[in-house]
Amino acid sequence: MPWTIRGSAMRATFLLDPQTVTKSPIMLSSPIPFAMWGMDIMGPFPPATAQRRFAIMAIDYFTKWVKAEALAIISKKKREDFFWQAVVCHFGIPRVLVTDNGKQFDNPTFRTFCANLTIEQRFTSVAHPQTNGQTEVINHTLLQGIRKKLDEAKGLWEDEVPKILWAYNTTKRNPYKQNSFQFIILDKGTHSH
């Protein structure tokens, strides 16, 4: 069986060869529902009612459940209120919050907010946003939906955000053949298949 050993050694050499090592960032995930969330801010968009030009969003890494809200300004209070109301009040205090290292999230005030809730804050590089893949996927989905609806909705893109989220949250996209809505709303005792 020397050829098997040699073949295995060749495969091992190939796997360890620095020329073949992928340099792409590691994707983050969570094995526990609502334990790890990603959060980001998008915009500016054309002004909607009340001069709302930004969208803030959060996504759970396990269920892929997304929450989002239109904002006129990106302030400390708006960021913290959104996270508190959209995530903590509905799903509990997560263990980890993943954000980019932009000034909206990487600042003493927001770090203190997370620390007071005992949330570990993890940062992804603005230069490598793909490391926060979950957040980037929903950003792309929201942007596509908003762009598509801007002409139809006559600039009222904020009215389309709940519709886009409903479509996203009720679309099956995981190995369990369930959508985010089923993960959160239904349990094994309330439906049959």
C-alpha–C-alpha distance, residues 45 and 139, integer Å: 13
Comparing CA positions, the residue from 86, 128, 82 lying closest to residue 105 is 82
- pLDDT (tens place) for every residue of the chain, 193 residues total: 444 444 444 444 434 444 443 443 444 555 688 899 999 998 898 888 889 999 999 999 888 889 999 999 999 999 999 999 999 999 999 999 999 888 999 999 999 999 999 999 999 876 555 555 666 766 777 777 777 766 676 667 888 888 888 888 888 765 566 666 666 665 443 433 3
Q: What is the pLDDT of residue 151?
A: 67
C-alpha–C-alpha distance, residues 152 and 7, integer Å: 60
CATH 3.30.420.10 assigned to 36-185: yes
DSSP string, the chain: -HHHHHHHHHHHHHHH-GGGS--SPPPP--SSTTSEEEEEEE---S--GGG--EEEEEEETTT--EEEEEESS--HHHHHHHHIIIIIHHH---SEEEEESSTTTSSHHHHHHHHHTTPEEEEE-TT-GGGGHHHHHHHHHHHHHHHHHHHHTTT-HHHHHHHHHHHHHTSB-STTS-BHHHHHH--TTT---
* Six token digits for residue 172: 């099956």
